[in-house]
Amino acid sequence: MCLSPRDTWVYLWDIFLFYAMGCIQSVRCKPRSFRDSVIVLDVSSSIDTNRTSIDETSNVVLRYRTPHFRASARVLVPPMAGKETWTVGWIQACNHMEFHNKYGNEGVSSWELPDLRDDKIQAISDSDGVNYPWYGNTTETCTVTGPSRKDTKFTVSMNDNFYPSVTWGVPVSDSNLPLLTGIRRDQSFTTWLVAINQATGETLVLQTIRWRMRLAIQIDPDKPLGERARLVEPTAQEQPQILAKNEPIPPNAMVKPNANDAQVLMWRPRTGDPILVIPPKY
């Protein structure tokens, strides 16, 4: 067979492509390590658009429920060559907390995180208090184990909101006389999608989300129960930010105590010294 120069070039190029594609496919199918192959297919995050709801059915406490923060991620783990086990899931930390309840001219009660308040730490774990450092251990995490020959796809998701109770009366008093006149709350969080090697502790940050929850409630304690409280702001929460560049996880976000166990309730009267009403659990 006699080929023209052009036909020879085309023939050689076809041979090259044949072998090149074969190499690409073999590399794609060849099992690799988890850290070199894990892929986040997509991440979504939002805060529900409903307003904070207020519950005045109790003559002892006012309750309110904020909209939910939600985060979800679809993850792909191609075939793994090594004998390794990784857990992928959500870790959350509180970066800032203001939670003040005003009682007219009597004073203010506040839930506080002392180390965070005093700038001794950058953030504090918001784990469920059992499955450190994870926010939870149901839909929030997934564990994958190698070696494997097939792709592994899964979704990890989480949600968070506030549903506290605030006494109508001054918290250091035995009286239920309604004196509560205002509630203000402003909290900020960082939420990470993370993979942790169960044997070595190696940690990979796959995605970082920042979000904030704010509210202000005005209360007229002289009005009948059920008519006292009014949500002032905001009508809608700021939506979370999915960061283009990941942030490192501060050490305190990975270990005990979590925010619920570390917080204290303080009473700060208009005159006199502050009083510790509820000490930390941890």
The first and second tokens of residue 114, run together, are 């002392």
**Exposure string (b/e) for 42-65, b if CB count within 10 Å is 16 or more?**
ebebebeeeebebebeeeebbebe
Dist CA 4 CA 130 (whole Å):
74
Q: Do 55 and 15 meet the contact criterion of CB atoms below 8 Å apart?
A: no
DSSP string, 54-122: EE---SSEEEEEPPPEEEEEEEEE--B-S--EEEEEEEEEEEEEEEEEEETTTEEEEEE-HHHHTTS-S
pLDDT, one tens digit per residue, over 142-191 is: 999 999 999 999 999 999 999 999 999 999 998 889 999 999 999 999 99
Q: Among 232, 200, 238, 205, which Cα is nearest to 219's?
A: 232
pTM assigned to the model = 0.86
How far, in Å, are 141, 189, 212 from residue 240 at the CA level? 21, 10, 7
Q: What is the mean pLDDT of each run of 10 residues along the chain (282 residues)?
A: 50 44 43 88 97 96 97 96 95 98 97 96 96 96 95 97 97 92 98 97 97 97 97 90 97 96 97 96 88
